Structures are given as C-alpha cells and as structure tokens.
C-alpha cells in the first residue's frame, strides 16, 4: 500500500489499521533527554488542548502508544504537518512547527507520556506581579478616545495583544501576553481587559491608560483556556470588577483571583468522576466559563466528566458548587438572548446542552446531527418565524444549526433544531459564527476547510431567511504564496473569527497566517457588506480572536 493511501485510510476511517510496513518503521522509537524535553513542551503547547495531557483524547482522538506505533512515523508526520479534514490544523503548513519539530512530535507520541507538572498556591504567588499599583492607575480615561469601542486583537503565535481604536482604526498599543492567547474578557465596567494564554498566564490591561498596558499578571496553571470576571450586581451584592476566575486544563482546576490585582485567592480541583460511568479522571479540564447575570455565580464546564458547575463566589474562601450532569466532552458555548440559558457544545458527542441558570438544571440536550459543533459563543437571532434562536457551526461538517431557546413564548420550538443550513461545498472547518443586533446578517468562517477556495471565504447568512446569501472572498493581496525566513513558501489560512464594533455597523475579521508574515484586519460594513478598511501593520502577526469592549461587557453575540 502506498503511503498516500495509508494516510487516506487513517484519515477517513479514524482507525489505525495500517500496514505492517508502517509499524515496522517505528519499532524502536526513542528520544534522548534534550529531545524529550523539547517534545514535551511542544506537545503541551500545541497538542494537549485537543488530545489531552495524558493523550486520552476529547475534541481530538486519543493517542495511545499502540495506535500511534501502528501508524508509524511517516504517516504521523504527514498528518501533523498537513492537518486533517476533521479540523486538525496543519502545524507545518502554517509555520508553527518546522519539519524537524514535526518529525520529533511524530516520534514523541509513540512513547509513554511523561507525568505532567503540578502547581500549588505557592507556585502561583511566585509568579504574581502587580506592575502598576491600583492607586497609581488613572482616575479617569486618558487620551480622549472612545475606549468602549476599543478592540483587543489576539496576535496568537507571537504572544501579544493589539489594542485597536474602533473609531480611528489605529493600533494604540501592543501588549505582551502569554503563549498562544486563547480569549480576552473584560471586567463588568469594561475598564480592564483580562487575558489568558495557553500557558496559564493571566494578565490584565488597563484600557483607561493613554497607552493601555499590563498592570498585573500571574501564572495560574500550566495550561489554560478560559477566563471571566464577576458580573452580578443585585440583592446579593455588587461584584462588578471584584473577582476573576481562570479555568485550567492542567492541573485541572478553578483558580479565583482578586479583580484589581490578580492576587490568587482560591484553588478548587476539578478532578472527579464522569457523570455517566462513574469513572475517576484526573484530567477533568475546565473549558468555557461565563458569568451569570442572575446570581453571584460562574457557569463552568468540566470537559471530561460531562458536568456543568454553578460556582457561587459570594464567600470566596468557602464556595458553594452546584454540579449538573450534562454530557461529554463539554467545550465552548454562550448565552441565549435572555441570558438565562447557557448553551454549550459537547462536541465529541455532537450535542448541545442547554442549562437553565435560574432553575439550576438542564433545560434540554439537542443532537446537532453533524460532526463536532464548535460555537465559540454561538450566535443569537430573534427570528420572526421561530422566536429567539441560538446557532452553532461545526468543525467537521458544513452544517449550521439553529436551536429554539424560548420555552415560555415558543414552547414548540424550545430545545429543538428549527433550522439547518448547509455551507457551500463539502467538509467543515468552521470555527466561529457571530452577529449583532445592529446587523441584518450572520457571519461564519471556515479556516480549517482543506479546500483553498472554501477556506478563504466569509459566509454571509441572512437573519430573516436563515440562508447563505453571499460569500466574500479574501482580498487577492493575501491569496498568493509568501516566503518565510527558511525559504519555505506558505499560504495564509484565511479569514478567522468575527467581532462587531459597539453599534454593530461594522464587522471585523482577521487574515490568519504564518507568524513571520504580517497580515491585516478586514473591516466590513455589516449591512452593505462592502470592505470599508484594511488595517495593515507590521506588528499584525497571526491575528486571530477579536473582542470589542462594549460587546464583551454585555455579552452581545
């Protein structure tokens, strides 16, 4: 069997029934001490998020030694370098791994996983820094800008955040962050923008400063994906800007920090038993977190155990936790229009779970009928036909589904798929879908689709008809080949992630590419769909997620 055929077999079937020749190629896989150290870090940075620190899988498949050895080094190298149609990035094609690093990782995942590092409160405190004390920060916004229309732009692979003025379209500052920053969240007032990197580094940017910069930082864990703030203000107290929570992948835990300083206050382990089989799992990681508007609580997804935790932060030292059995493996999600129901993808089971945060129970579990839902925060629409609905795309399929979310006024549609649309062509690759009350359209990306044309288009969906009405191609200047420092020729991956300005009149997306090649922010009129502005700057390296202050403050999506 030729190598291409073996690779195709592995990708199509998801099994490792490959030839004896592939297995024989890797009988004696070994790494020296330096290689093991390097490979462990690369795996930690690039692979653990989907495959797990212990390689037991979640969004990505498990990587047990028997499986990987059966595939062989050459097949594994090809998959790691080029990616897969099911949504795995092409780490080599994007320039994030060299050919030598790709070979190293292909060998590494055929060996026994080393025990991952732990982290204590004392470890955290060693890394905690208040860079600018609270009393030395501005008493009011400086610079005369409309700071609530600022955008935080993640420059993912260079570990930085660009703060961009949404009115003037200029970069105000570029701030250091952790490795491969995952998301940004604002405090309730919007003044502080909180950053979490995949290396567990949390930092906070003061947007009132004339040139926004970090005012505090801490390494909360070794691997993380989520951060949010306390947003409850009501009869039980005012918690605006008071607390921050970080959800850790490793060690699997919840870390509560002081809002103004990031001083660590509490660690809660999430290692527990799976909701369905009662199997203990050390690797019970925290995925998405949202801040409840009804109670002083955070809604926290525990990925591997399939539970949603409602974490009451009234007494920081003695938290109350309501554990709600849901589904595995929980990932990203967001609020419905009423901000009562939290909808989250259990993407390995192709389901969406709706949690009622008032009644504190499951409202519904919906099968999406497609492979690996990946909503980000999802998209909300107040449909004339169906009532309030929430939508998600899929990494592994070209389906976008819309679910009814109003059991009171539209009970016949509640917790059911009311509409499924198909994106053009074949395959998935969708990562994000977004809209705003100020726009009549929904926007979807597809940067992980292997088809170059499909990968580099923006998909525009009419809110009224819930149909794709237009595709916007990536501008020609970003479509060719670009040369890197090692002489390689690469192509930019395409538009990724959407965010609107404060009034919803503009939608912003970014050209995701190689970390050596500056790209751009594309600003479209969100109703005429005309490209208004292309923001270019040599500092815009691998721009990905975008977070507008006003929209993030109020959970508008």
Which residue is catalytic, options 51, 436, 497, 514?
51
Question: Hey, how many other C-beta atoms are within 10 angstroms of the C-beta on 115?
Answer: 8
Judge whether 313 and 295 are in contact, CB under 8 Å.
no
**Which among 254, 265, 143 is positioned nearest to 206, based on CA atoms?**
143
307 Cβ neighbours under 8 A, 6+ residues apart: 272, 275, 323, 324, 325, 326, 330
Query: Angle CA(332)–CA(285)–CA(270) in degrees, nearest 5?
Result: 125
Which residue is catalytic, options 53, 71, 88, 193?
88
**Which among 187, 248, 287, 308 is positioned nearest to 552, based on CA atoms?**
187
Distance of CA 153 to the CA centre of its chain: 14
Catalytic residue at 248? no
3-state DSSP assignment of residue 286: strand
Which residue is catalytic, options 3, 50, 293, 323?
50
Strand segments, DSSP code E, in 398-466 are 399-404, 417-422, 433-434, 441-444, 457-462
Q: How far apart are CA 216 and CA 130, in angstroms?
A: 4
Q: DSSP secondary structure string, 333-350?
A: EEE-TTSSEEEEEEGGGT
Residue 257 structure tokens: 């920090």
Catalytic residue at 294? no
Bridge partners, 11 (sequence order): none
3-state DSSP assignment of residue 156: helix
Which residue is catalytic, options 47, 53, 105, 553?
47
Catalytic residue at 88? yes
Which residue is catalytic, options 124, 204, 374, 410?
374
**Which among 2, 127, 138, 142 is positioned nearest to 75, based on CA atoms?**
2
Query: Angle CA(535)–CA(184)–CA(241) in degrees, nearest 5?
Result: 125
Which residue is catalytic, options 53, 182, 248, 331?
331
Catalytic residue at 50? yes
**Which among 421, 408, 367, 412 is positioned nearest to 385, based on CA atoms?**
412
Strand segments, DSSP code E, in 237-291 are 237-238, 243-250, 253-258, 264-269, 272-273, 280-281, 286-291
Question: What b/e sequence results for 464-503 when a residue is b if at least 16 CB atoms lie within 10 Å of its CB, and e otherwise?
Answer: eebebeebbebeeebeeebeeeeebebbbbbbbbbbbbbe
Catalytic residue at 221? no
Bridge partners, 471 (sequence order): 459
Judge whether 488 and 537 are in contact, CB under 8 Å.
no
Question: Hey, how many other C-beta atoms are within 10 angstroms of the C-beta on 133?
Answer: 11
385 Cβ neighbours under 8 A, 6+ residues apart: none
Please give the positions annotated as active site: 47, 50-51, 88, 331, 374
């Amino acid at each position: 069997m030729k190598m291409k055929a073996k690779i195709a077999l592995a990708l199509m079937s998801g099994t490792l029934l490959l030839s004896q020749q592939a297995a024989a190629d890797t009988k004696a896989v070994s790494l020296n001490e330096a290689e093991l150290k390097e490979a462990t870090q690369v795996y930690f940075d690039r692979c653990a998020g989907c495959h797990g620190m212990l390689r037991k899988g979640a969004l990505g498949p498990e990587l047990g030694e028997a499986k990987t050895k059966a595939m062989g080094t050459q097949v594994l190298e090809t998959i790691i370098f080029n990616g897969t149609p099911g949504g795995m990035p092409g780490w080599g094609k994007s320039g994030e791994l060299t050919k030598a690093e790709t070979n190293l990782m292909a060998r590494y995942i055929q060996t026994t996983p080393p025990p991952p590092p732990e982290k204590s409160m004392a470890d955290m405190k060693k890394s905690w820094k208040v860079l600018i004390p609270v009393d030395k920060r501005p008493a009011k916004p400086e610079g005369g800008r409309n700071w609530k229309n600022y955008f935080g732009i993640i420059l993912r692979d260079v570990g930085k955040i660009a703060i961009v003025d949404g009115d003037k379209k200029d970069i105000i500052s570029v701030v250091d962050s952790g490795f491969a920053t995952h998301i940004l969240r604002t405090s309730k007032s919007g003044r502080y923008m909180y950053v979490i990197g995949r290396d567990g580094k949390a930092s906070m940017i003061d947007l009132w400063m004339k040139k926004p910069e970090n005012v505090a930082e801490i390494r909360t864990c070794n691997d993380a994906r989520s951060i949010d703030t306390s947003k409850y203000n009501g009869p039980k107290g005012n918690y605006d800007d008071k607390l921050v929570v970080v959800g850790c992948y490793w060690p699997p835990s919840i870390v509560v920090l002081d809002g103004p300083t990031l001083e660590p206050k509490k660690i809660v382990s999430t290692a527990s038993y799976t909701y369905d089989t009662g199997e203990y799992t050390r690797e019970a990681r925290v995925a998405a977190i949202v801040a409840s508007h009804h109670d002083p609580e955070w809604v926290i997804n525990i990925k591997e155990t399939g539970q949603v935790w409602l974490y009451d932060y009234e007494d920081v030292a003695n938290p109350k936790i309501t554990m709600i059995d849901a589904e595995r493996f929980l990932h990203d999600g967001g609020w419905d229009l009423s901000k009562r129901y939290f909808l989250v993808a259990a993407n390995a089971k192709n389901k969406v779970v709706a949690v009622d945060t008032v009644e504190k129970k499951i409202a519904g579990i919906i099968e999406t009928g497609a492979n690996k839902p990946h909503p980000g925060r999802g998209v909300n629409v107040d449909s004339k036909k169906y009532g309030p609905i929430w939508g998600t795309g899929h990494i592994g399929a070209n389906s976008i589904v819309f679910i009814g979310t109003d059991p009171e006024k539209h009970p016949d549609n509640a917790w059911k798929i009311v509409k499924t649309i198909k994106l053009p062509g074949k395959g998935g690759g969708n990562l994000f879908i977004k809209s705003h009350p100020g726009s009549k359209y929904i926007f979807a990306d597809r940067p992980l689709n292997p088809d170059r044309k499909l990968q580099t288009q923006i998909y525009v969906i009419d809110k009224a008809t819930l149909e794709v009405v237009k595709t916007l191609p990536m501008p020609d200047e970003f479509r060719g080949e670009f040369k890197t420092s090692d002489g390689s020729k690469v192509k930019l991956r395409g538009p990724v992630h959407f965010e609107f300005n404060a009034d919803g009149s503009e939608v912003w997306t970014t050209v995701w590419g190689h970390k050596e090649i500056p790209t751009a922010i594309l600003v479209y009129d969100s109703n005429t769909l005309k490209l208004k502005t292309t923001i270019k700057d040599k500092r815009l390296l691998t721009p990905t997620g975008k977070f507008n202050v006003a929209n993030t403050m109020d959970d508008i999506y």
